[in-house]
Structure 1
Amino acid sequence: MGSAANYVSHDRELSFDLFFHENLFRSDWAYPRLRQADGSSMEHRSWRIKQQYVEELHEDVEGLAQTLAEIGVTVHRPMPLPPNAESISGLGWSALPVPPLNIRDNTLILGDEIIETPPAIRSRYLETRLLTPVYRAYYERGARWTTMPRPILTDASFDLSYARDTETTLGGPTEPIEDPQTSPFDVGHEMMLDGAQCLRLGRDVIVNIANANHAAACDWLERHVAGTYRVHRVFRMADNHIDSMLLALRPGVFLARHEDLRQLLPAPFNAWKFIVPPQPDAGHFPTYDNKDLVLTSPYIDLNVLSVDPETVLVNAECVELIKTLEQEGFTAVPIQHRHRRLFGGGFHCFTLDTVREGPLEDYNA
């Protein structure tokens, strides 16, 4: 379970803007405006988060951890990011670190193996180090602990084609991605992949591929798990993460943003039931101003957490989704999470399930 302690700001630089580019639109409701009302550019690059929002986020995250413990889940926590943490640096770049909040992103759990994935945002490069005590404890009890090749993260490491392809945007216009700078450490497009791009379905792993970075990392993953897991590539289901697009609630049932996602899935998963909730209501979200950087679309509330085949943790404000799940026979547990659009994650993002009851299923058998 992640931690929101000492969240201060978002460091706007190439890797951050590229990762969130699909949500960095200029509009009043669906996406933030990253330019002043007169059309001029914002001068600052470090986007300070209001203390009120930070405190309320911390309160909501701790409430989620308490709820999980109360329903019988063993909850492990990372070391908190220290206050006033110094910038981390690589070869030719530096960035202020963020706390290990969305811990789903930089780790993939497959069976008895912990796989640390290669991050795409510089400020998160050392994030999994704050989970070292948890991972080490699992390792000492017999788990395997693997780290995928770490990228250098020069500007040239990033495949910018997706961000510059106007056909992939959700209605634009998006903020432009700065022209990358050359570096003596350039090695071409590198492996980058987040655990939240992967949908684990028994012996099958569906991986979202939107650029050359993802494809290179998926090549590594396929070789690494060959003979144990089947890796299926879906192309551009989203720019990166798919856990606000498609989530497995239980065997045979997906929660989906829209029905057309079925066409991207391999058999037999394209025959599973799709639960598509109503469109999100603007009234269920706080109102922000131009000093608040909104990072997620209104569909973030699809980022639920399936605790068991009957129980789903859902944002308490998303009453239409709660009603939809209850009509489908699920027990929907309402949890408070006010500022999900400011911090880029929901309940699925905040958590990383390391141990699940039951055998490793083969839904393709």
Structure 2
Amino acid sequence: MMLNSFDEWSPLKEVVVGSAMNYNSHERELSFDLFFHDNIAGDNASRSEWYYPRLTPAGRGGSAHGPSGGSDRLLIKQRYVEELNEDVEALAQTLASLSVTVHRPMHLDPSTSEVRTPGWTASVVPPLNVRDNTLIAGDEIIETPPMIRSRYFETQFLTPVFQRYFEQGARWTVMPRPLMTDASFDLSYARESTVGGPTEPIGDPQPSPYDVGLEMMFDGAQVLRLGRDLVVNISTINHAMACDWLERHLDGRFRIHRVYRLSDSHIDSMVLALRPGTLLVRSEAVAEKLPAALRSWDLIVPPAPASDSFPRYDDDDLVLTSPFIDLNVLSVGPDTVLVNDACLELVRTLEKHRFTVVPVRHRHRRLFGGGFHCFTLDTVREGGPEDYLG
């Protein structure tokens, strides 16, 4: 089918489900720590030892700055990876059982261990959270400029999928790629918005011969798609520069509405549109930051997640998402929603609002940085460029 995806709720026909194959480590370095800043600062037992950029004694892992330090590669327990793979495959099977055509990216080959550019090296992670580095805007694939170095070439794993849509008539665009030296990052959010502590001050960026100053960096998961309207979360100058590019590129086809610091980056565990006129939000305070036209929509605010909804982890397990990650649901249609089967409060809340809930298992969402919305990229939905905001 032709690429066509304008919103988050229309009947879903085709989707990409990510791959977790050969996901074996996290690499703590500047871009990673900035991206996961809120949860690294607040949700880990040893957070008082962490600061930015993380300096590592020589010999303990790779480096973004050279052999003297700059990164720390943390292995992930194999049982978590095996269970993650089981849950991702079950998600793909569930979608197929709902008559959705499921596409998959290429798997990360275990021999591919790092990515290297003129300015830095980083480990490689598989294309799991495929929502992040691509924005589908109607009939256009837009590859967005990454915010984490280890994901710099992640969209290449989706090349076979994107190429097929291109052959069927889709537009296919790649936003400018950042050099991603330390000087490329706006550190203001992390410096001003530490949510848990104590943490040590963010250090000065390491110089590079490839410094060009602040650059655009942006993820598709910062966008709430509402027909012809795109609500975009801006927390840094990097995001604002990318939004400027989007406005110019999409001018005449979409309207851009900026919201500021709704979160550090992604907003799909803060607010999701389940159907026209209905929003799933973390809190009413979140809704107050949305455009005025959206504040009149019906709000579904589920109870706070129960602690027993999550596995217990060891102190050396790195927690990357907040307890609200289960708000990261995927709509298969305006009345049908995929929800984590461990989040019973959310299931009951949505059922009270007359949604059909399809429970799907996802155990380690806090360790791998995403829920069902993150793990998927909807490429074909029935909806079009309707005007929902007037």
Mind listing any 5+ residue stretches in structure 1 that lack a counterpart?
none
Does the 8 Å CA contact 1:24/1:174 hold for their aligned counterparts?
no
Q: Say whether residues 1:21 and 2:46 are aligned partners.
A: no
Alignment of 1:117-136 (within 5 A): 117-136=144-163
Point out which structure has higher relative CO (alpha carbons under 8 A, 6+ apart): 2
Show the 5 A alignment for 1:88-99: 88-99=115-126
- Counterpart in the other structure of 1:55: 82
CA distance in 2, matches of 1:220, 1:42: 36
Structure-2 separation of matches of 1:274 and 1:203: 21
Deviations 1:138-187 (A, max 9, x none): 0000000000000000000000011001xx23343346544310111111
1:118–1:193 Cα contact (<8 Å) kept: yes
Q: 1:220 to 1:284 in 2, by over 3 A?
A: same
Q: Is the CA contact (8 Å cut-off) linking 1:53 and 1:339 kept in structure 2?
A: yes
The aligned residue for residue 290 of structure 1 is 315
Aligned to 2:26: 10
| Cα deviation 1:33-63 (Å, max 9, x = unaligned) | 3467xxxx98751110000000000000000
Cα distance in structure 2, aligned partners of 1:238 and 1:247: 13
Q: Which residue pairs with 2:46 in the alignment?
A: 33
Q: Distance in 2 between matches of 1:303 and 1:279?
A: 14
Q: Secondary structure at the match of 1:193?
A: coil
* TM-score (ref. length: structure 2): 0.89
Local SS of the residue matching 1:3: coil
Query: Contact between 1:12 and 1:46, CA under 8 Å: does it hold in 2?
Result: yes
Match of 1:260 in 2: 285
The answer on 1:215 being equivalent to 2:240 is: yes
User: Is the contact made by 2:19 and 2:88 (CA closer than 8 Å) also made in structure 1?
Assistant: yes
2-side partners of 1:175 and 1:331: how far apart? 46
Displacement of 1:85: 1.8
- Residue aligned with 1:355, SS: strand
TM-score (norm 1): 0.95
Structure 2 counterpart SS, 1:321: helix
Contact 2:22 2:108 in 1 (8 A): yes
- Is 1:301 the equivalent of 2:314? no
Alignment of 1:109-188 (within 5 A): 109-165=136-192, 168-174=193-199, 176-188=201-213
Secondary structure of 1:145's partner?
strand
CA distance, structure 2, for counterparts of residue 98 and residue 188 of structure 1: 26
Change (3 A) 1:172 1:245: farther
Which string of whole-angstrom CA distances, capped at 9 and with x for unpartnered residues, describes residues 114-155 of structure 1? 000000100000000000000000000000000000000000
Q: Percent identity, please.
A: 66
Q: Does the aligned pair in 2 maintain the 1:208–1:236 contact within 8 Å? A: yes
Mapped partners of 1:275, 1:334: distance in 2: 18
Distance 1:100 1:175 in 2: 32
Counterpart Cα distance in 2 of 1:175 and 1:143: 47
**CA–CA distance in structure 1, aligned partners of residues 304 and 200 of structure 2:** 25
Structure 2 unaligned regions, length at least 5? 1-16, 50-54, 61-71
**1:82 equivalent in structure 2:** 109
Aligned residues: CA RMSD: 1.6
Residue identity opposite 1:78 in structure 2: P
8 Å CA contact 1:243, 1:303 repeated in 2: yes
**After the TM superposition, which of the residue ranges 206-215 and 282-291 deviates more from structure 2?**
282-291
Cα distance 1:181–1:263, how it changes in 2: closer, same or farther (>3 A)? same
**Aligned-pair distance for 1:31?**
3.9
Q: Distance in 2 between matches of 1:175 and 1:22?
A: 14
> What code does the residue aligned with 1:250 have?
R
Q: CA shift at 1:342, angstroms?
A: 0.3
Task: State the distance in 2 between where 1:131 and 1:23 align.
Answer: 28
Specify the alignment match of 1:240 in structure 2. 265
